Structure 1
C-alpha cells in the first residue's frame, strides 16, 4: 500500500532538507527540467512522454525541460521557459521550491532539476512537436524507493548504472528515474 503524503508535508520536507548545492558551476553545456508537483491534498507528479518523432530520447518519459539559452537569466528560467514551450505551463503559475543538484545526461549536459508546485486546475497545452502525452503519477507512489530497479548499460565501453520503474503503461528510466529517486532520498520519504 502506498503511504500518504500531503502537499504541505512534501513542501516542509523539501524546504527543511535542502540538498547540498554545488559551490561552483560545472563546466559544459547546461540544461534544466521542471519537476512539477501538482497541488492536491495528495499531490501528483507531472511527467511527459516525448514525441516519437524526436531525434534524441524519442518516446521516453521525461520532465519538461531542455537546454539553457544565452538569454536565460538562470537555470530556473530555463526550466520554466521549456515547461511553457512543451506543455503550456505558465511560469507565473509555478511556485518554485528549489533545485536538486545537477546530474549529467547521457548526451553530456549538466541538467538541473527545478522543483515547483503547479495548480491542480492548470490546463496543459501540449506541443505535439516535442511531447506525445502528459500524465500524472501519485507523488507518494513515485517517491517509493522500492519502485526502482538498477540496471547497468554499457555504452562505448563504459558502464552506466541507471534506474528504471514502470507506472501503468510507462517505462520511467534513466535520468528521469534518477531525479525522482534523488528527490525521494532528499525528503527522506
Structure 2
C-alpha cells in the first residue's frame, strides 16, 4: 500500500523532478493559461471547476480556472492568476506559485500553459455566475493515480488524437484537464501512483 501523499512530499517531488520538454507545437497565435491549484491540506487536494452548461464552448466540462491571454497580460502566469480571480474569486495573494508544466495544445487551437500553485484550505471561493457551475476538490493522491485514466482515440479532421477519461464522484474529467493531471502525475511520482 502506498504511503499517503503529503503536501511536503508533493512539493519535494515537484521541485526535484524537471518537467519533460514541451512538445513541438505550431507557432502560437493564441495563448492561454490555466491555474492548477493544489490545496494545502495535510493530505492535499486538487481544486477543479465545472464550466457553466450555457457556455458556447466547453459547456459543462471539468476544467482548471484559466483562459485566453489578454494583450495587456504581462505573462502567462498573470493570465492564469487573473482568470482564477475572475472565475472563482481566488485572490492572487493566496496563491504560492511553484512552477509550470509543459505547454499543451487545445482542440480549439490554443497553446495552454498550466501554472501550478499552492492555495490555503477553506478559502471563501465564489464561482462566477457567468462561467462556472461548480467548484470542487479532489484528493490529490486520487487525482494523480494513473490507473484512473482511460485512453480514448478520437479522429478530428482526419488526424488521430488520444484523450484521457476519468470519473470522480459525479464529475466527468476528460480531455485537456485529464491530460494535465496525468502529466503532473508522471512528473511527480509515476512509480508510486500506478496500480
TM range (shorter): over 0.9
Look up the match of 1:85. 86
- Secondary structure (helix, strand or coil) at the match of 1:27 reads coil
CA contact (8 A) 1:3 1:140 kept: no
CA contact (8 A) 2:102 2:113 kept: yes
SS at match of 1:185: helix
Give 4+ residue runs of structure 1 displaced > 6 Å after superposition: none
Q: How many positions carry a matched residue from both structures?
A: 189
Whether the 8 Å CA contact 1:2–1:140 is kept in 2: the answer is no
Structure 1 residue 41: deviation in Å? 0.3
State the TM-score, normalizing by the size of structure 1. Answer: 0.95
Deviation at 1:125, TM superposition (A): 1.3
Find the counterpart in structure 2 of residue 38 from structure 1: 39
SS in 2 for 1:133: strand
Q: Secondary structure at the match of 1:113?
A: strand
Unaligned stretches of 5+ residues in structure 1: none
1:160 offset after TM fit, Å? Answer: 1.4
Q: Partner of 1:115 in structure 2?
A: 116
Give the TM-score normalised by the residue count of structure 2: 0.92
Quote the residue 1:70 is aligned against. Answer: 71
**Contact kept? 2:39, 2:119, Cα under 8 Å:** yes
Displacement of 1:18 in angstroms is: 2.7
Please tell me whether residue 11 in structure 1 is matched to residue 11 in structure 2.
yes
Secondary structure at the aligned position of 2:118 is classed as strand
Aligned residue number for residue 29 of structure 1: 30
Distance 2:159 2:136 in 1: 33
Rounded Cα–Cα distance in structure 1 between residues aligned with 2:89 and 2:5? 27
User: Within 5 A, what are the aligned runs for 1:116-135?
Assistant: 116-135=117-136
Secondary structure at the residue paired with 1:106?
A: coil
List per-residue Cα deviations over 1:166-188 (Å, max 9, x = no partner): 10011100000000000000012
Is the 8 Å Cα contact of residues 28 and 110 (structure 2) preserved in structure 1?
A: no
Shift of 1:3: 4.8
Q: Distance in 2 between matches of 1:148 and 1:56?
A: 23
Distance 1:31 1:121 in 2: 27
Residue number in structure 2 paired with 1:55: 56
**Secondary structure of the residue that 1:82 maps to in structure 2?**
helix
Is the CA contact (8 Å cut-off) linking 2:40 and 2:121 kept in structure 1? yes
Match of 2:193 in 1: none
